Amino acid sequence: MAEEVKLLKGNEAIALAAIRYGTDGYFGYPITPQSEIMETLMDEKPWETTGMVVLQAESEVAAINMVYGGAACGKRVMTSSSSPGISLKQEGISYMAGAELPGLIVNVMRGGPGLGTIQPSQADYFQTVKGGGHGDYRLITLAPASVQEMADHVALGFDLSFKYCNPAMILADGVIGQMMEKVVLPEQRPRKSEAEIRREQPWATLGKTRDRKPNIITSLELDSSVMEKNNLRFQAKYKAIEENEVLYEEIQCEDADYLIVAFGSAARISQKVMELARKEGIKVGLFRPITLWPFPTRRLNDYKDKVKGILTVELNAGQMVEDVRLAVECKIPVEHYGRLGGIVPTPQEVLEQIKKLKN
Amino acid sequence: MENIVDPANLVYDKPRLMNDNPMHYCPGCSHGVVHKLVAEVIDEMGLEEKTIGVAPVGCAVFAYNYIDIDWIEAAHGRAPAVATAAKRLNPDKMVFTYQGDGDLAAIGTAETIHACNRGENIVIIFINNAIYGMTGGQMAPTTLMEMATATCPYGRNASLNGYPLKISELLVPVEGTCLIARETVHTAAAVKKAKKMLRKAFENAMAGKGTSVVEFVSTCASGWKMTPDQANQWMVANMLPVYPLGILKEK
């Protein structure tokens, strides 16, 4: 069969990929710049084909708690929002982490703080990879840099979240959500049957059969000695994710004197910067973290002896740069360049920063 | 005495789905009786293998420790949203929430109203004891005027605290609801009546008729600083005039 190539917005790609993954439910609340996700799902009417439930909730808070309820039943459920709405979902994300529930959350970031702007931003890096909600938990975080990756990360996010019983987030931005590119969607997969879920997710609350004890989904434990054990179990899981699930892309890093580290749309701009720099004889490589948590700390550490300096390019005031500095143990200069509040930098202005780093 | 323990003489038994875990509820609290009714209705309707309960934050946070069914413990006030997804993704299941007045009528007001407005085929069991029991007796949205609590120690005052929220009455014009009833469990006759209403609510959910809300005007002897018997009498004298019993809506 010939490959089916479509021209889609990043947000549309997420919606169509979700249907094809065999997602059981989507629960969301409209917010710019990601409303096309729910609009596309409603337009596709997947409840008539795969049986997928699509529901517009009364708030982001309700939507994430619907995800919590669906996930408790062992279902593949997701929600999407943008920065202010994601702040509202933090309670539910923390509860999901505490109850060890899988689920996919999409954040198509916009500029903040507060109501901010509807233009693209990457200012929710800290919120996403350092916590966001309360408690010692981690959120698996994927950073797509193309419409193709918006589609691909749906399956990747669900698979990782079910593998580790932990929520996962696709951390995109307004550029990736709104831009149109060619994309190949995955094959349609069937949704899991109740029998399959009962077998694969034996903890799911689908009704207690006589041959087992009640399944109870909770994050509550009043006995602090048990709660500490629960936390240690979470930490061991996070360590396993850090050991096994790091993803990144390296472009022309082998001979590089300088490295740009960037994710999402900033990485797309940086790829152009790299080309411009090389035309001027500056050997620049691009290191693109795909998983922001787990962060490619170990791989970046290798570069402390290989390159003369690193520039992180982010659509924020300097967030990931802290993790890059830690990764190279501050052995080489690590500078940050970012534009704020929804402004996207031009390749030329980033190139000037590379030249500054060089001098 | 030996005759008394003869199974042939058995006239009353603990519900099969209630386990032997020691209850954390205080003596005289209505929760234990309502738990019993929930367990009985599920068992009598043969729904044990189909039921998903959603527990609140509040005194009933540990409801899952006492009734042997599958449970999801929701964040404070979010039980109707959690139940919405559980039911929509499993339309053949019996899904109910069990919530107190703070959970349902304060922090979870939006989730309550919108689940009802969508006509989710779930049962909302609402325990109204006019006080926050779990956190030590603070003011609830349903706290009566002049009633003293830890956070309105001089009595509920309209200018400072507003008025007792009659959330069940508020839900009457909401199109998605099919049954709204207010019951109590302070006498044997009331318990019997309440159980019938609860069963009707469960039947509605399984028949896909919409959202059923059964409010239980309840006692909190500890929070009210009364003996269980005083609490029952105080409830009848003070709570029932504000929260009158009966069917508020049925369609």
Within this chain, do residues A103 and A172 fall inside the same structural domain, yes or no?
yes
Domain assignment present for residue A112? The answer is yes
Residue numbers in A near B50 (CB within 8 A): 207
pLDDT at position B6 is 81
Report the DSSP beta bridge partners of residue B54: B72, B97
pLDDT at position A2 is 61
Domain assignment present for residue A218? The answer is no
pLDDT at position A359 is 79
Domain assignment present for residue A141? The answer is yes
Are B19 and B118 contacting, i.e. CB atoms less than 8 angstroms apart? Answer: no
Last residue of a domain, one of A148, A177, A194: A194
Within this chain, do residues A40 and A162 fall inside the same structural domain, yes or no?
yes
pLDDT at position A131 is 85
pLDDT at position B132 is 96
CATH of the domain at A314: 3.40.50.920
Within this chain, do residues A106 and A8 fall inside the same structural domain, yes or no?
yes
Domain assignment present for residue A207? The answer is no
Question: Which tokens go with B142?
Answer: 């349903």
Within this chain, do residues A171 and A50 fall inside the same structural domain, yes or no?
yes
Within this chain, do residues A117 and A27 fall inside the same structural domain, yes or no?
yes
Within this chain, do residues A48 and A135 fall inside the same structural domain, yes or no?
yes
Domain assignment present for residue A58? The answer is yes
Within this chain, do residues A189 and A300 fall inside the same structural domain, yes or no?
no
Last residue of a domain, one of A159, A178, A194: A194
pLDDT at position B5 is 72
d(C-alpha A69, C-alpha A66), whole Å: 5
Mean pLDDT, chain B, as a whole number?
Answer: 96
pLDDT at position A358 is 83
d(C-alpha A192, C-alpha A154), whole Å: 16
Name which CATH class applies to B26-250: alpha beta
d(C-alpha B60, C-alpha A96), whole Å: 20
Within this chain, do residues A57 and A174 fall inside the same structural domain, yes or no?
yes
d(C-alpha A132, C-alpha B152), whole Å: 34
pLDDT at position B2 is 63
Distance of CA A229 to the CA centre of its chain: 28
CATH of the domain at A75: 3.40.50.970
CB contact under 8 Å between B70 and A53, yes or no, is no
Give the minimum alpha-carbon distance from B163 to chain A in angstroms, rounded to a whole number: 25
- Strand positions, DSSP E, A134-247: 140-142, 167-173, 180-184, 216-217
d(C-alpha A289, C-alpha A327), whole Å: 12
CB contact under 8 Å between A207 and B61, yes or no, is no
pLDDT at position A350 is 98
SS (H, E, C) A133-162: CCCCCCCEEECCCCHHHHHHHHHHHHHHHH
Average pLDDT, integer, range B186-199 = 98
d(C-alpha A61, C-alpha A45), whole Å: 24
The domain total for chain A is 2
Domain assignment present for residue A211? The answer is no
Within this chain, do residues A290 and A180 fall inside the same structural domain, yes or no?
no
Band of pLDDT at residue B8, cut at 50, 70 and 90:
confident
Within this chain, do residues A277 and A352 fall inside the same structural domain, yes or no?
yes
CB contact under 8 Å between B86 and A99, yes or no, is no
- Domains of chain B: which residue ranges? 26-250
Domain that includes residue A35, residue range: 4-194
Q: pLDDT, tens digit, for every residue of B66-88?
A: 999 999 999 999 999 999 999 99
Domain assignment present for residue A236? The answer is no
Is the pLDDT at B155 greater than 80? The verdict is: yes
Please give the ipTM for the structure prediction. 0.96
Domain assignment present for residue A142? The answer is yes
Mean pLDDT per segment of 10 residues, for chain A of length 359 residues? 86 98 98 97 98 98 98 98 98 98 98 95 98 96 98 98 98 97 97 98 97 97 96 98 98 98 98 98 98 98 97 98 98 97 96 92
SS (H, E, C) A244-268: HCCCEEEECCCCCCEEEECCHHHHH
Q: pLDDT, tens digit, for every residue of B87-127?
A: 999 999 999 999 999 999 999 999 999 999 999 999 999 99
Give the chain B residue nearest A213 (alpha carbons): B68
Burial A49-64 (b: 16+ CB within 10 A, else e): ebebbbbebbbbbbbb
d(C-alpha B133, C-alpha B131), whole Å: 6
Last residue of a domain, one of A161, A176, A194: A194
CB contact under 8 Å between A207 and B64, yes or no, is no
Residue numbers in B near A68 (CB within 8 A): 72, 74-75, 78, 82, 85
SS (H, E, C) B108-145: CHHHHHHHHHCCCCCEEEEEECCEECCCCCEECCCCCC
CB contact under 8 Å between B64 and A61, yes or no, is no
Band of pLDDT at residue B1, cut at 50, 70 and 90:
low
